Amino acid sequence: MSERFTGSFTQQEPIPEEAIEAAVRVMRSGRLHRYNTLPDEVGEVALLEKEFAELTGARYALATGSGGIAITTALRAVGVRPGEPVLTNAFTLAPVPGAIAAVGGRPVYVEVTEDLVIDLDDLQAKIGAARVLLLSHMRGHLCDMDRLMAICDAAGVKVVEDCAHTMGAAWNGQASGRQGLVGCYSTQTYKHMNSGEGGFLITDDAEVAARAIILSGSYMLYGRHLAAPGPEVFERVKYETPNISGRMDNLRAAVLRPQLRTLGAQCAAWNARYGVVEEGLRGTPGLKIVERPEAETYVGSSIQFLLPGWAEEAVREVLSRCAARGVELKWFGAAEPLGFTSRYDSWRYAEHAPMPQTDRVLSGLMDMRLPLTFSLKDCAQLARIIRAEVGAVYQARG
């Protein structure tokens, strides 16, 4: 009888006891709001921002209510106006073009390669179409950031990085999110730290940081921030920047601070699981591994592979056979959006040019979460099942 996987792909690890105790302390105080502190008390949010800035090497940091809020705040802070085009990856998740649309911008999509990163040749061809690039490190894959920044710097294009899947990752030893003007992160449950919802924005630009802090609803209490520019910067921008509540609360910050201290160990644990699955799938007939560049330090909280050139019915058969054995694969080639797998042509609020290369890549793209509740033994079993079912369909269909 064929083995069947019984784990849950949506079950996360428990919140650490230290984080639970910190959250209880905040709840007992009743001071959940980001600025509700005692005289001379530093709030949990301000401490978290300082610690995240130190972790990433950024001068300034802002904790936000979600990763999407971080991105929309960043786009507003760098000056995106209604009707303005903003370059972005054709392969990303809905909150990325959604953030562009939320500030009144217009997404202009750039093709994706088989390495699941933005096509830098297509970016070079389109670089004159916008002043801002919202770069999505989709599913944790980093492009050649040196070449990307050279292209954007030469054209005067500002880069906002969506690092929802690359917290803890790096390019040539520099933290993901530090190459562009602004880096944005998520602490939603399925990301690398878990506060249910939440996010961060980092930058070295004082005026961008000041605008972001006011946009997040500072009520002119920016003096209570630790990872922020001096008051003279706020004086320049405070009367022309709207306050829109979006900064994180003390409860979620308290939950995150202990997790921040163990982020490196968590990333190593994900990569151990990723390595087991990758090795188990390598060499499977008809299956292509997405190879990682040497300059990339990645975090393997999910894994992707390609079934290049496969017919739709064959891909669907693989999905069905794996599901019957308890393995939940996501497919980005489906015509209709399902869960987290919507794609550029699903977002009908944004017009788009033909994306033939992206269509070809997505038509065979498989995606699988690797929660830390899976053991290395579980990961080996997942690889065996996928390998067997892909191989069976490949052999049967020639």
Q: How confident is the model at residue 118 (pLDDT cuts 50, 70, 90)?
A: very high
Does the pLDDT value for residue 1 go beyond 60? no
Q: What is the mean pLDDT of residues 234-251?
A: 96
Q: How many CB atoms lie within 10 A of CB 302?
A: 19
Q: What is the mean pLDDT of residues 312-326?
A: 97
Q: Which distant-in-sequence residues (6+ apart) come within 8 Å of 119 by Cβ? A: 110, 111, 112, 113, 357
Q: Which distant-in-sequence residues (6+ apart) come within 8 Å of 37 by Cβ? A: 31, 43, 224
- Domains of the chain and any CATH numbers: 17-261 (3.40.640.10), 263-397 (3.90.1150.10)
Residues for the chain: how many in total?
A: 398
Are 332 and 312 a contacting pair, CB within 8 Å?
A: no
Quick one: how far is CA 207 from the chain centroid? 24
DSSP state string for 300-345 = -SEEEEE-TT--HHHHHHHHHHHHHTT---EETT-SS--TT---GG
Percent of the chain clearing pLDDT 70 (strictly above): 100
Q: How confident is the model at residue 397 (pLDDT cuts 50, 70, 90)?
A: confident
pLDDT at 342: 83
Least-confidence region, from 106-115, 245-254, 286-295, 334-343: 334-343
What DSSP state is assigned to residue 88? E
Neighbour order of strands in the sheet with 170-171: 174-175, 170-171, 296-297
Secondary element (H or E) of residue 146: helix 145-155
d(CA 246, CA 279): 42
- Helix, strand, or coil (residue 89): strand
d(CA 107, CA 134): 9
* Residue 215 vs residues 7, 96, 195: alpha-carbon distances, Å: 42, 19, 22
pLDDT at 67: 98
pLDDT at 339: 77
Q: How confident is the model at residue 207 (pLDDT cuts 50, 70, 90)?
A: very high
Q: What is the mean pLDDT of residues 38-53?
A: 96
Least-confidence region, from 37-51, 117-131, 335-349: 335-349
Does the pLDDT value for residue 34 go beyond 80? yes
Q: How many CB atoms lie within 10 A of CB 116?
A: 22
d(CA 209, CA 127): 25
Q: How confident is the model at residue 2 (pLDDT cuts 50, 70, 90)?
A: confident
Q: Which two tokens stand for residue 71?
A: 């991105």
Q: What is the mean pLDDT of residues 43-55?
A: 98
Q: What is the mean pLDDT of residues 197-205?
A: 98
Q: What is the mean pLDDT of residues 41-66?
A: 98
d(CA 48, CA 45): 5
d(CA 51, CA 40): 19
pLDDT at 340: 78
d(CA 319, CA 305): 13
Q: How confident is the model at residue 336 (pLDDT cuts 50, 70, 90)?
A: confident
